[in-house]
Amino acid sequence: MRRPSVRAAYDALEHEVEPRLEALVRTAGFAQASALVADIRSSVGTSVDSWIARVLHAVNLPAGTDVQRLRRRIGELDREVRLLRLELAQYAEERGDVRPDGG
């Protein structure tokens, strides 16, 4: 029962605040401030990530970048193995070899 009055209050507040906020976010100053905050977050994030990687390496543990590099390399190796299997199957087919698995 109380919910409709809460909803009405919310709607009334939104009706008053929304146009002002909408006007604010469309200003050049807001865009500049947003870009500055994004740059700061990126710089801080990069610094923190770098520091964490150094700490993990100091105790002989892999950092996130190490894991990403290994995953990428495993993907590359997987593709190479698939290509080699296809080439080997094609070569065997050309020679008329029968594979042990019946294929």
Q: Which helix (H) or strand (E) holds 30?
A: helix 28-58
Tokens 């020679």: give the residue.
95
Give dist(CA 84, CA 103) in Å, integer: 16
pLDDT digit string, tens, across residues 28-59: 999 999 999 999 988 888 888 899 999 999 99
CB distance 53 to 64 below 8 Å: yes
Give dist(CA 23, CA 19) in Å, integer: 6
Residue 5 has what pLDDT? 87
**E strands in the chain:** none
16 has a pLDDT exceeding 70: yes
Q: Sorting pLDDT into bands at 50, 70 and 90, what band is 26?
A: very high
